[in-house]
Amino acid sequence: MTSDIMNNSELCAKELQYEMNLYGKRGIALERGEKEFVYDVEGKRYIDCNTGVGVAILGHAHPAVVSAVQKQAGKLMSCQSPFANQERARLLERLSALFGTPSKVFLCSSGTESVEAALKLSRKKTGRKAFVSAMNAFHGRSSGALSVTFKEKYRAPFEPLLGPVVRTRFNDIESLKASMTSETAALILEPVQGEGGIRLATQEYLKAARDICTDRGALLICDEVQCGTGRTGKFFAYEHFGIRPDVVCLAKGLGGGVPIGATIASEDVSAFTPLEHGTTFGGNPLACAAANAVLDAIEREALLAKVAADGAYMMEKLRTSLSGKQQFREVRGMGFMIAIELKVMSKEPLAALLQKGVLALPAGEQVVRLLPPYIISHESLDAAAAAISGVVQ
């Protein structure tokens, strides 16, 4: 089958015409990808530091993921959870083992669903209603996850949402102490805030959060939908902080591009009883096979160490090439979660970067965010850093 629509602008226009008015378009249509590169329909190549907001962690068309998906597609794609399956059993066991203490796993298909399950579990376990979440937090768009998301603009049209929700200042222990009461079911935090601008929790803060939750009988949920699955150089970002939450949420990168999410909870807080929660697509063999291939590749290719080392390499490179520029404020991040904060809006530099063949994304108004695939070469990191230096005055 051929389509008479071939170019970038026509495809963008067609999507804008028929898609609900939610996303806007960046002006190009992507057709294929290989490793850290994507190609638009006009054949132009880009270094992909956007990766579908940190989804394509092994880059594009990674042979192990392609082969796992192809094989599983030809075998069995649909298998609802009352029936067991080899790929699902293997993934459940591995995720539980990665959490490192007796734990239970709920599989779903997106980040917001993994947060939704964590919130419901917290109410079930504690019998309490209230949640505490951080300023500038992003936890998703379904009604529960949206309730604990910070941005007023996202929430206001859809009130009333879940409540009560207390919004506490990120990295402020006194504010946290004042926010947590005997009515708090859970505190939900991103160890590294993603949409909020790549903001790292401090060691003291996450440790205090752990202690306060234990003390008040509330659950600590780490939303690692963006910062988990190795993005910071450890499998879970919370491992950098010497704590373990009661519940951790994963999604984005876990399936290497195939939609999958997971909520992992310590066994002692896994309070659901049959049919209190569930989802049709959660744990389907196709997604589980992809996730198993991703976890295998992370191990086999020693990608956690690579992300830690190359993340530091890239941040240093950026600091060196940007220091002294008028529009430049700072580089910060952890592993391959990198923010270049500017003193100007990031929209124009991002558009200029795209023209230069580098895809990056915003995080707030003045941040250029990089979420490169773990397999990216030094050559491509160098080229991306040079392009960034070229668009910041």
Ligand X SMILES: *Cc1c(COP(=O)(O)O)cnc(C)c1O
Q: Which residues bind ligand X (CB under 6 A)?
A: 110-112, 115, 138-140, 190, 194-195, 223, 225-226, 251-252
CB of 370 to ligand X, least distance (A): 15
Give me the least distance between CB of 149 and ligand X, in Å please.
8
Give min distance, CB of 105 to ligand X, in A.
17
- Min dist. Cβ of residue 285 to ligand X (A): 20
Residue facing ligand X at closest CB distance: 111
Phi, psi of 51, rounded to the nearest 5 degrees: 45, 40
Cβ proximity to ligand X: between 40 and 190 the closer is 190
Phi, psi dihedral angles at 178 (to 5 degrees):
-75, -25
- Nearer to ligand X (CB atom), residue 192 or residue 322: 192
Which CB, 222 or 385, lies closer to ligand X?
A: 222
Looking at beta carbons only, is 141 or 329 nearer to ligand X?
141
Taking the CA of residue 277 as centre, how many other CA atoms within 13 Å lie in the half-sphere pointing to its CB? 22
Residue with tokens 């290989």: 34
CB of residue 52 to ligand X, shortest distance in Å: 10
CB of 282 or CB of 387, closer to ligand X: 282
For ligand X, which is the closer residue by CB, 141 or 356?
Answer: 141
* Nearest-approach distance from CB 368 to ligand X, in angstroms: 17
Q: How far is the CB of 224 from ligand X (least distance, A)?
A: 7
Distance between CA 64 and CA 369 in Å, rounded?
27
> Of the two residues 232 and 380, which places its CB atom closer to ligand X in the complex?
232
The distance of closest approach from Cβ of residue 242 to ligand X in the complex, given in angstroms and rounded to an integer, is 21
For ligand X, the closer CB: 194 or 311: 194
